[in-house]
Amino acid sequence: MTPRSLPRFPDGFLWGVSTSAHQIEGAVAEDGRGRSAWDDFTAVPGRIKDGATAAVACDHYHRYREDVGLLRELGVDAYRFSVAWPRVLPDGSVLNEAGLDFYDRLVDELCAAGVRPVPTLFHWDTPAAVEAAGGWLARDTAQRFADYAAVVAERLGDRVRQWITINEPAELTLLGYGVGQHAPGKQLVFDALPAAHHQLLGHGLAVRALRAAGAESVGIANSHGPTWAASEAPADLEAAELYDVLLNRLFADPVLTGRYPDDDLAALLPGPVAEDLKVIAEPLDFYGVNYYQPTMVGAPGPDGVEFSGVTLPPGLPFAPREIEGYPRTDFGWPVVPEALGELLRGFRERYGDALPPLVITENGCSYGGVDDAERIAYHDGHLRALHAAMAEGADVRGYFVWSLLDNFEWAEGYTQRFGLVHVDYDTLARTPKASYRWLRKALAEELR
């Protein structure tokens, strides 16, 4: 049977791939880079599967030219990478010129290859010194982050036109400060909420700093997915609504509408919240959506819940449930392309004219092997769902695959492979997978 052709997307639609600094760079003790909260977290035995660290990772720091060559050969328009805050400001405040020089070289290499650089300023690697001073639980961190944004923009802004401030503040809040599965490893449950507010405040302050430096296009990358109630029972519906507020609306509403979704929730947040919201809601040129899966939620039982590799503490007012009837990735995540369309329709209905153009800043899956037919099927399905949503009116301007390379997958170490390119972690050899070749052909012949 001849495979169906992929749909053609509008002229100017941005095609890219994404990575993050801590997951691929390595070179953690070179060029004056400071320690990050993740370096400290991985140093604690038992935190990471197989005791892995990101000390070498994919060694992108030394092999970035080879990786940019892979981008050029793939035929993408853009590369979304993150800047490591502790490489640029090792103690959170004093500039390390050698660290910033690396991103200067990377941006030059991308521009020479005809690939748009799209830096994300923060992808979870808080400088250890900043974390020791309170991290994102401390209000001062928001201003320190904005100062860092200004430093990076001053150096790279002559070649970078599109910026992302913060990646997935929900995950850092929940997994890092709430349940301790990620750095910094705190288990504060609802006392983690200040970390959410301060990240959003840092985002707004960074938007202002980037605008002052002449940035043309600024956005944020938030993780989102539809929340499905486990049943129509009132307790399940109530639990699903609360989960949706905490994982979706808590991070979208303030940015897009200048309000928190619930007054009682807003009352739990620190500082002059009403004034902060004016900063948080600085107008954006695009809103980034990282989509992987929907979540089914019901009323909690008496015990803690194991879900997607995370042990949730007892006493939470909701409990995620497994979604049956769909293929699963190696991570155990259900593959539900149509839920991406559901998410985009929901955003349009909820936010209306307050919604700027969207960019899918991450979408991907974990599968092993170089002949990764499952990854091809995953992206084929999600691109068709995206195109259908756009035909219904969703204003989406770009799609970034997660990820270019297999990499350090946080608490999972090197056990989960999301890359279009296979990395041999012993030799660091790069081998393009079948999905890489499929996407290269699709970009050359069908999608554009």
Q: Give catalytic residues, as residue numbers.
A: 168, 362
Q: Tell me if 163 is assigned to a ligand binding site.
A: no
Instruction: Work out the number of other CB atoms within 10 angstroms of the CB of residue 225.
Output: 21
Strands 421-423 and 430-432: antiparallel
Q: Within its chain, how far is the Cα of 62 from the centroid?
A: 24
Q: Tell me if 409 is assigned to a ligand binding site.
A: yes
Q: Residue 428 and residue 147: Cα distance in Å, rounded?
A: 35
Residue-wise over 275-295: b if at least 16 C-beta within 10 A, else e?
ebbebbbbebbbbbbbbbbbb
Cis peptide before 403 (omega within 30 of 0): yes
Which pair of structure tokens corresponds to residue 206?
């960074």
Question: Which residues touch 389 (CB under 8 Å, ≥6 apart)?
Answer: 340, 341, 344, 345, 396
Q: Tell me if 167 is assigned to a ligand binding site.
A: yes
Q: Residue 392 and residue 341: Cα distance in Å, rounded?
A: 9
Q: Residue 39 and residue 363: Cα distance in Å, rounded?
A: 26
Question: Which residues touch 209 (CB under 8 Å, ≥6 apart)?
Answer: 146, 147, 149, 150, 153
Q: Tell me if 410 is assigned to a ligand binding site.
A: yes
Q: Tell me if 203 is assigned to a ligand binding site.
A: no
Comparing CA positions, the residue from 294, 350, 297 lying closest to residue 320 is: 297
Q: What angle do CA 75, 225, 415 make, to 5 degrees?
A: 65
Annotated binding site for substrate: 23, 123, 167, 292, 402, 409-410
User: Residue positions in the annotated binding site?
Assistant: 23, 123, 167, 292, 402, 409-410
